[in-house]
Structure 1
Amino acid sequence: MTENPQLHALLAACHWIGDKGWCPATGGNMSLRLDGEQCWITESGKDKGSLSEQDFLLVEIASNQAASGRIPSAETGLHTLIYRLYPQVTAVLHTHSVNATVLSRVEKGAALVLQGYEMQKSLSGQQSHLSSVTIPIFDNDQNISALAGRVAAYAETTPLPYAFLVRGHGLYCWGTQVAEARRHLEGLEFLFQCELQRRLLEAQ
């Protein structure tokens, strides 16, 4: 495998995510753009907390196919969609945390709107707690092509700057570098936990 500092950074992020418990039971998938045509993505069925470099497969962004013949993540099509939509994105993290999974079901609307939290500034471009952060929520679908089609249709009219949720499933977030994607993930997880706690307390 070609020496790539960003791949080392992604591997470290995967181990960190595993330690956080955000990808239990081999769930989730992570990827890194190699160039305009290919990306590295985690092989299906691998525990994210104990990955090695050999557990990443080189996939064609246009076709979602791994040249090696091994099986990439079932959700490869959502990663490659993000790379096609946003050429500046180089890393995508997909997690299955309790916070993201539950909040995506508790929120019945088409988006989660976060406002009033200082931690919003962990997201690139956010300057103040007074602004709002909108995270779209898409209904889950075992047909990844159909789900990717809905995400793409949304993105035609509304940019997806940080992330989206899949209802009852988890979070997709990304960045221009692995470090930015990791910061977005950590910031969003904090915000999700705060929002769940706020809603729980208000319901009492």
Structure 2
Amino acid sequence: MSEHSPLDQLVAACHWIGAKGWAPATGGNMSVREDARFCLLSESGKDKGSLTRDDFIQVEIATNRAPSGRKPSAETGLHTLIYRLFPEAGAVLHTHTVNATVLSRVEKGSALRLAGYEMQKSLAGQRSHLDAVAIPLFDNDQDIDALARRIEAYAAETPFRYGFLLRGHGLTCWGQDVNEARRHLEGLEFLFECERQRRLLEAQ
């Protein structure tokens, strides 16, 4: 496997995420699509800032089954759902940041609406700050299968891109490849921080 393979790019992204403190206390999970049938998903309970290629488990997208018998993340079903819902998705990043977690609790609607920010253009297909970006927001659930069904039902009626928030939990985002997923994560985190600060200032 070359040093520039998608998995190596994902490992580097995990180290970057860990250095930023965006996946504390072994939280979060990351994956990359291997092919039409499989993805490679981070093993449960691992510190994301020190992951190696050996810490990723092959998982069947259609069934969530790990042929090796190793234990992937508890949220495996959300990663495989994204790969099924969005055939163009090549990598998925799930983080537990303060901005995403707090905003997901403050916002009471079904989506966090972002508008007026130049950095919206960090998201694929966004051309202007005049447009609005809606990031869906779902109530957290320890029953991942039930949560996945709710997200799937929402997507069938309200198409969305980039990512979604889980209330009190964090952000899950994706891209066509690791680099785009990483750009979406960084862009959304900047937007979330701006939105959080805006709401704080307006409340004073």
Partner Cα separation in structure 1 for residue 52 and residue 41 of structure 2: 12
The whole-number CA distance in structure 2 between the counterparts of 1:161 and 1:195 is 19
Paired with 2:68 and 2:40, the residues of 1 have a C-alpha distance of 12
In the alignment, which residue of structure 2 is the partner of 1:174? 174
What does the per-residue CA deviation read over 1:29-64, in whole Å, with 9 as the maximum and x for residues that have no partner? 000001111000000000000001000000011111
| Alpha-carbon distance between aligned partners in 2 of 1:133 and 1:202, rounded to the nearest angstrom | 21
Work out the percentage of aligned pairs sharing the same amino acid. Answer: 71
Within 5 Å, give how 1:83-122 maps onto structure 2: 83-122=83-122
Q: Distance in 1 between matches of 2:177 and 2:60?
A: 20
In structure 2, what is the Cα distance between the partners aligned to 1:73 and 1:162? 21
Give structure 1 regions of 4+ aligned residues with deviation exceeding 2 angstroms: none
Match of 2:63 in 1: 63
Q: Distance in 2 between matches of 1:198 and 1:85?
A: 33
Superposition deviation, residue 174 in structure 1? 0.2
Q: Determine the C-alpha separation between the residues in 2 that align with 1:89 and 1:70.
A: 24
Q: Structure 2 length normalisation: TM-score?
A: 0.98
Distance 1:6 1:31 in 2: 10
CA RMSD of aligned residues (A): 0.8
Q: Distance in 2 between matches of 1:189 and 1:170?
A: 11
Q: Report matched runs for 1:29-178 at 5 Å.
A: 29-178=29-178
Q: Distance in 1 between matches of 2:44 and 2:97?
A: 18
CA distance in structure 2 between the partners assigned to 1:9 and 1:160 by the alignment: 25
Query: Where does structure 1 lack aligned partners over 5 or more consecutive residues?
Result: none
Partners in 1 of 2:28 and 2:106 — Cα distance? Answer: 21
Letter in 2 for 1:9: Q
Aligned length: 203
* Alpha-carbon separation, structure 2, partners of 1:109 and 1:71: 34
d(CA) in 1 for partners of 2:103 and 2:161? 20
